[in-house]
Every structure is written in C-alpha cells, then in structure tokens.
Structure 1
Amino acid sequence: MDPKDINWSSLGFGYMPTNSYVRTTWLDGKWSEPVLIKEPTITMSIAATCLHYGQAAFEGLKAFRQKDGKVRCLRPWENVKRMNLAADYMLAPAIPEELYIQMIQMVVKDNIEYVPPYGTGGALYIRPLLIGTGAQVGVSPSKMYDFLILVTPVGAYYKGGIQPVEALVLDDYDRAAPHGTGHVKFAGNYAASLKPSKIAKTQGYPITLFFDPKDHEFIDEFGTSNFFAISKEGHYVTPVSRSILHSITNMSLQDIAKDMDIPVELRPIHKAELADFAEVAACGTAVVITPISKIVTKDHTYTFGETCGPTLRKLYDRMTAIQHGDYPDTHNWMLEIK
C-alpha cells in the first residue's frame, strides 16, 4: 500500500508489504554484504534446515517517529544479543552487532515513509529473522544461513486506552520443556503456544499463562509475553526461570521502576503468590503492558481489578513517553536512524 493512502488512526497490528526488506547470507564462514530487496518473498531449497529441523529464530523491535521529527528505535543492541543467544543454541553463526545495526539503518531508511506520524501511537515494527537455508537431509546444522529484516507499520495496540484482559492457565500444556529452548526466541516456541492459545480464546480468554514445565508450581510467562506483578507492598516482581524468554520490554520496565524508586524483585514466584498481588500484567514489544484483570486456574480464580492499576499506568506512560520522545532518554536506549 502507498503510505499516502494509509489511515494511520485505524492501523492495526498486522503485516503490510513495504518498499523493501534487507538480507544477508552466511556461506563459507562469512556474511555477505547486505542488500535491499523489493519483492516481499524469499526463495530457498525445499530441503532447507529451517523447514525441516527448526533452525529459525526471530526478534521484534520498533522504530518511532518522535516529537522532534526524527525516527529512533528502542534498544536494538539488546535484540542482537538475544538473537545471538538463539544462534548459539541452534549452532548458527553469530550476527555481528555492527552488521545488525547497519541493516536496521538500511531498511528503516528505505521505508521511512511507513513510520507512522508522531501522535498516532503507531510505530514501524522491525522483524529480524535468522534461518538455516542450506539443503540438508539428516539432523545437523545448515552450512548456509540467511539473516533478513522486514519492517511493517503498526498502529497503537489499544484503541481508546489500555483495556485489562482475562488469562487462563491450561495445565495440560507447556510453553517449553525443562532445560529446553524457552529462554531463546525460536520460532518453534510460538508454534507450541498456538493450540493452547486457541483453546483459551474459544473459552473467552485472550491470553494464556503458563506455569513451570517441570512441576507446574511456579509462574513462567504468558503465551507471547513476560509476566510481572506489583505486590501489595508496591514492589515490581517478575519471575526467574530457565524456560522464560528474556524480555527487553521487561528489562526496560524494571529500569523505569528503579527510576521511580519502586523496588524490583527477580525471583521464582510460586503460583500461590497470585493472591498477594495488587496488579498483574503481561509485557512485550507489541503492546508494552497488558493489564490482567483475572487469572483462572483449575483450582482458583484471582482478580486484580477491571481497570489498569496506578503503578502499571505510571510504568506504561513513562515507557511510551520515552519511545515517542516525550520524556528524556536518560538511559540512552534510542538509536537514531540516520
């Protein structure tokens, strides 16, 4: 779609083809020079390892048109660190930070007109993707990889303000295995969440919460987002677990909480502690914060209010203000697109 024809106020969270994506290929021990590609397609062998053996990892971040008119994206250096954790785990080559940042600069600049205007609440969603593309029959790592970054404009996730949602715990499903791949952003982790998410939605719950896969006694995370809570003592509490994905949004919110003199606790959280929380939320790139009004397990129902709690609201407002340039970037999180 021509960006002149986009109704920015009604833009949702979905994929829209843009001018280009950027791509580099790893072969014979090195990455090629990245190139911009106009067609929103990719060609690979039918025996590519990403198709057969799950060698696929991705990231998600956003670029914002800020109050001063410049375009900046949030903490891309943390995304490349996390992607390289996934690359190491699936025996793929690491992506040099310099190359990663170069490719973000290239693809955002080439699609700059797709960055939503300041004040619309929208952003340019950036999706880096690392896949094994070499032909391989037999379980072993690929000898060739493609790293690409696509971008697409997205609107404000919430239209008309933050709306709390209800969450369901399904004890018959796990998001990840003990000592498995829950801590890295593999594509397969999200495939594993599709069925329980559909079951929850058919029962009227937009989001699922998973307990630890070993004993189902401790809180892990939501299907696509980290879990955090505000205790009745006013502490920011978020779980630590081998099977939880390290969320850059969660990490940023923790820093903002500390800026506000809110104590931060990173520790295992027993499911019984749900009764002791004043506010509960999911957090992630797409939405920043989703307040949770209710969590339903097979034994209990925990309620946290039908509106966004005051601490969640303060954290959300500060985070989005930094993203859009309405609050000073004191942590130097924002990369300017030049």
Structure 2
Amino acid sequence: MYGIGAFSRALALHHRFKLGTRYFTAQAASSLKPLCDPSTYSAEEYANIDWNNLGFGHTPTDYMYVTKSTGDGSFEQGKLDRFGNLELSPAAGVLNYGQGLYEGMKAFRRENGGIFLFRPDQNAARMQIGAERLCMPSLTTEHFLDALRQTVLANKRWIPPPGKGSLYIRPMLIGSGPILGLAPAPQYTFLVYVSPVGNYFKEGTAPLNIYVEEEYHRAVHGGAGGVKSITNYAPVMKPITRGKARGFSDVLYLDSVHKRYVEEVSSCNIFIVKGNIISTPVAGATILPGITRKTIIDIARDSGYEVEERLVEVDELCEADEVFCTGTAVGVAPVGSITYKGKRIEYKLGEEHVSKKLGSTLVGIQKGVIEDKRGWVMEIGEQTSWSNSMKAR
C-alpha cells in the first residue's frame, strides 16, 4: 500500500542522521537576534490573553519562519519575520493546483518551566514522504527541526501556562512559484507559524458523538489520502458542516470501494476496543499515518494490550466495548456514540476504560511524570537536552 514503505525508508534515513554539536553553534543561535532574543522573556512572562478560556482557533503571534527553495531543490537558511500575510503570484502552484502540505504539532510547558516538543522528527519524515508524492522538494530533518526551534523560542510568551493548553505549530510547504500548465511549481516556500490553543472540540474533554458518512468519501486508492496534502481537507468540509448542524462532533468515513470498512474521522484516526484487543485501520493508501496513532499503538502494546492494524468492518462498531480517536489536535478522545444508518450505538465510558488509561499515559510522558523510555519528548530550551534526545533515537 502506498506510503508505508516510503515512510519506513524515510524513518530509517532519519535514524541514521545525527545532529552534531554544530546544531547549537553561535551562528544558529544568533539567527534569532535581529528580530527577537528569547532571553528577553522570562519564564513568568506570558502574552496578555485569557488562558482559562482558550479554544482551538487562530491567535496571531509575534513571528513566523520563512524560507524558499533554490534552483537545485535545496532550501535557503531561512529567517524569522514578523507574523503577517504572504505575497503570492496569482499563478502560484498552490493556488492553482493545490500543491501544498502541512504538519501539526504542539509545544508545551512543564511545571519546571521547560519547553518541549513531542516527536517532531516524525513530522519531518512525514512531510518528506508527502513532498515526494506531490513532486516537491523537502527540507532536511535538521533544517525542519531548527525552523521549529526558532519559531517556538521567538514566540515563547504565547506558550500557555502548564495545564492551560499548548502552542500549536503549523509547518507548511507550498508551491509558491508561478505555473500555468499542469506541472510542479518552479519554486517552493516553507514556513512555520504558531498559535496558542486549548481543546480541539467544543465539547472539550467530553465524549465525541460521531456519525458514519455514507455519501462522501475522504480519499480513494491511488490518491493522496495517505499524506497530509492540503487537498484532503476542503472536500470534507461539507460532510462536517452537515454533521455539526445535526449535533455531531465529527464524521467517520468508509472506504470508497466496498463502503464497508472504517477508515478515519475527518481530523483523527480511530480505534476500537474488544476485550484486550485494540484494532485500528491500516494506515497508508487512504489513511494518514498519524503520529499520535503510532504513539498510542506503542503505549498500548507496552501496557499489555494486543493491537491489530487491519481492515475494520463498520459492523464491528456495534460489537465494540469502546471506541476512541487520536490526533495531534484532539489527543486521545473517547467516543460516546456513533450513528450508522440511523442507529445510534452508545459506549459506556469511565476512568478505567482503555482510552482514559492510554491518554493519561501519553499526557504523563509529555508532562514528565511518567518516564520517557523511548526518547519521544524533546526539550528545546536546553541545547544539551535536544541534542541528546536526537542522538538517542
């Protein structure tokens, strides 16, 4: 299936890649100084916003990172600019042919004031796979991570206090060069912007109510459903809008060929639980290989659960003990009900349920109260911690 082998190859290359001490040279650190010296903000200083009522929306911050491709397909060093609008030609490849990718991740504070990212190298690898699929050049893992680091530190005052939310990070790769015929753009822009966010769903941490979409499909075999292309998201807006108007949180899509296998929710991957077995659809051809999905699979196996990545029939939802969703934006979200063919299937939830246990473990690792045995969490305030984390992977 498309995506799995390529993703594995990219990760293998990443594991062989090691950041040397040059990653933290004075030259790299000084790249922030013309616009923003992170040391000017103490750990106690925050932007003047209501952290107790932070939803999931865009809040303009101070800086964004921008770099452009060169003629040989590599990218310039890049720089921090004041957050603002981009200037694009009307003939830009992204505007005419949708040649664009994005990633999503979060920076968060711990009680000790440290600033951390969660598995950003996986986002770098996934963007590289997506770029190959859309005939775009991609950044090296080192360049990608340095761009994240610069952007987060430059916007440090926008990172919510511990327990109040996180700083959502949005890297984008777009065809910015003008092109009229259907072909790859002649130039590309990579940028990173950030926004403080709270819970993704308006229900907060309450169980989700989902309905199974039978008319529209999110992706088809041979398409780009397995990469994080911007073209995957506009088509799902109509079914989401229709679903929310009927009181649902989101939409669950079926495969486009047989219309009997569960694929994913608009914004997240899905899992079903039956006894000690956790099942989730195979990622790749039409399903995005979510990084939170991958993490939860590892946590579940470490916790003694049997995890199956396989075709999941929609009728299995009726027999499941529990259903939950995973994603960077949503975290681990329990599902309270699923409506299929007019029938509402309800699931009992509680502190002892699988999604609660797995989600608590994930958050515990991120907060530092549970040991990070796999080196998933990377601190970006301390040079040594970041470098050691990369070398350990």
Task: Please give the per-residue CA displacement for 1:172-202, whole angstroms capped at 9, x wherever unaligned.
Answer: 1001122211100011101111000011111
Query: Structure 1: which 5+ residue stretches go unaligned?
Result: none
Task: Please give the per-residue CA displacement for 1:72-128, whole angstroms capped at 9, x wherever unaligned.
Answer: 1000000011111110011000210000011011001111111111132x1111000
* Amino acid in the other structure paired with 1:75: R
2:199–2:205 Cα contact (<8 Å) kept: no
More deviation, 122-131/286-295: 286-295
Aligned pairs for 1:259-298 (under 5 A) are: 259-298=302-341
1:209–1:221 Cα contact (<8 Å) kept: yes
| Partner residue, 1:327 | 370
Task: Choose which of 42, 67, 70 in structure 1 pairs with 2:111.
Answer: 67
Secondary structure, aligned partner of 1:224: coil
Residue 326 (structure 1) shift: 2.3
> How far apart in 1 are the matches of 2:63 and 2:291?
26
Residue 218 (structure 1) shift: 0.5
Task: Choose which of 265, 270, 282 in structure 2 pairs with 1:240.
Answer: 282
* Amino acid in the other structure paired with 2:281: P
In the superposition, relative to structure 1, how do residues 191 and 134 fare at CA in structure 2: closer, same or farther (>3 Å)? same
> How far apart in 1 are the matches of 2:247 and 2:351?
20
In the superposition, relative to structure 1, how do residues 139 and 161 fare at CA in structure 2: closer, same or farther (>3 Å)? closer
Secondary structure, aligned partner of 2:233: helix
| Partner residue, 1:256 | 299
Residue 290 (structure 1) shift: 1.7
| Partner residue, 2:139 | 95
Aligned pairs for 1:82-231 (under 5 A) are: 82-120=126-164, 122-157=165-200, 162-231=205-274
> How far apart in 2 are the matches of 1:59 and 1:202?
28
1:164–1:308 Cα contact (<8 Å) kept: no
Task: Please give the per-residue CA displacement for 1:125-177, whole angstroms capped at 9, x wherever unaligned.
Answer: 10000000010001000110000010111124479972112111121100112
In the superposition, relative to structure 1, how do residues 159 and 169 fare at CA in structure 2: closer, same or farther (>3 Å)? closer
| Partner residue, 1:51 | 95
> How far apart in 1 are the matches of 2:203 and 2:248?
20
* Amino acid in the other structure paired with 1:235: I
1:19 aligns with 2:62: yes
- Give the TM-score taking structure 1 as reference length: 0.95
Secondary structure, aligned partner of 1:47: coil
> How far apart in 1 are the matches of 2:232 and 2:203?
32
Secondary structure, aligned partner of 2:150: helix
1:166–1:292 Cα contact (<8 Å) kept: yes
In the superposition, relative to structure 1, how do residues 26 and 98 fare at CA in structure 2: closer, same or farther (>3 Å)? same
Query: Structure 2: which 5+ residue stretches go unaligned?
Result: 1-44, 382-393
> How far apart in 1 are the matches of 2:352 and 2:233?
29
Q: Number of paired residues?
A: 335
| Partner residue, 2:354 | 311
1:67–1:326 Cα contact (<8 Å) kept: no
2:263–2:281 Cα contact (<8 Å) kept: yes
2:365–2:372 Cα contact (<8 Å) kept: yes
Q: Which runs of 4+ in 1 moved over 3 A?
A: 156-161, 306-309
1:225–1:284 Cα contact (<8 Å) kept: yes
1:63–1:71 Cα contact (<8 Å) kept: yes
**RMSD value over aligned CA atoms?**
1.7
| Partner residue, 2:387 | none
> How far apart in 2 are the matches of 1:332 and 1:220?
30
Residue 309 (structure 1) shift: 6.1
- Give the TM-score taking structure 2 as reference length: 0.82
> How far apart in 2 are the matches of 1:11 and 1:299?
35
